[in-house]
Amino acid sequence: MFMVARTPRGVLCAVLALLLCAALPHAGAAEQPTLTVVATYDNKGEIFTEFHKKTGILIHFLDMPPGEILARTAAEGGRPLADLWFGAGIDSFLKARDLGLLEVYRSPEADAIPAAYKDAEGYWTGVSLVLSGLLVNTDLLAERNLAPPRLWADLVRPEYRGQLLFADPAVSSATFATIGGLLKKMGEAEGWNYLEALAANAAYITKSASDPQKKVQSGQVPVALVPLSGEMLGRRGKSPVQALLPGDGIPYMAVGVAVFKDARNPEGARAFVDWALSLEGQRIIQAKDPRIMVRPNLPLPGTLEEGAELIDVDVVAISRERRRLLEEWARRVEKKR
């Protein structure tokens, strides 16, 4: 147990524009190597800039949610959208592996990563942990005479009925991680009773993973369940929109990196995996978006409150239970709404 944020859909984003302009080759110069990445990681542009500085490999990226990546790749008959997948949850990598979309790569740097955060066959490796928590609009809470929720138990109180928003666990890794974490903490019987009460208190359950954050930021709803990046936690106290970590246990998900099968630049993809898992790369990635990293002995980010407690879960085991948990969620929650 540990103690102590997209561009228009389908648009290819050229990262490192200034570097590209400054580095245009003169006549006869060799063209710089490039790597195409689908990425869901905050401050990814700055991370990719550091990788370019280290290796000379330019990165272009697509910012796309995991569900869309899987659907589009399957629609293309398995033809990859990119060389590398960076920042998806373990559940997405497991599904991609089962669909035959990933290439085995066992980085030498993965020897330093705990077994809990890497695929035994080498299809993916974890990079960091993303915490599931609450995003609140303090102005809207005050307007509605509501105290900020501090515990998961607060969210099922009568005064919060209709004041909460979260995404369907089928599209949101944060909601899915919360289900898995709370079931582990409370046990199946008590946990499902709680989750039913939580769903009953929600204003509605959205089919878009990004809607809860947007609705809180725009002042339409005071509380949302979201994935909390290091950047979001670092803004606490600087805005009416605040990130909160429940004091009675924090669910989390592991996010990682994987090489697509039939990648156009597999060497560049493997070079990024090596860098992202190295001590140097882990330090740089953590500095750009403060999170708990999977490589041991790195300091916890300063954005975590002292005494914050993560729920002790097996992220791979929960991900393997995805189908059962989603079917149980549908039976208990969706059919009653």
Is 20's pLDDT higher than 60?
Answer: no
Name the strand (E) or helix (H) holding 280: helix 279-288
Is 227's pLDDT higher than 50?
Answer: yes
Q: Furthest-apart CA pair in the chain: how many Å?
A: 71
- Adjacent-strand bridge partners of 132: 227
**Between 104 and 31, the higher pLDDT residue:** 104
153 & 237 share domain: yes
Count of the separate structural domains present in the chain: 2
Residue (of 134, 86, 127) closest to 233 by Cα position: 134
Q: Is 190 left (phi over 0), alpha (psi -120 to 50) or beta?
A: alpha
CATH number of residue 264's parent domain: 3.40.190.10
4 within a domain of the structure (yes/no): no
Q: What's the pLDDT at 17?
A: 40
Q: Residue 218 and residue 222: Cα distance in Å, rounded?
A: 10
Q: Positive or negative CA dihedral for 273, 277, 279, 280?
A: positive
135 within a domain of the structure (yes/no): yes
Q: Percent of the chain having pLDDT more than 90? A: 67
117 & 143 share domain: no
Q: How confident is the prediction for the chain on average, in pLDDT?
A: 87
300 within a domain of the structure (yes/no): no
CA 58 to chain centre: 24
293 class by beta-carbon count within 10 Å (0-12 exposed, 13-18 middle, 19+ buried): buried
100 & 209 share domain: no
113 & 19 share domain: yes
Query: b/e string for 78-96 if b means 16 or more Cβ within 10 A?
Result: eebbbbbbbbbbbbbbbbb
95 & 116 share domain: yes
274 & 199 share domain: no
**Domain coverage including residue 142:** 130-251+309-336
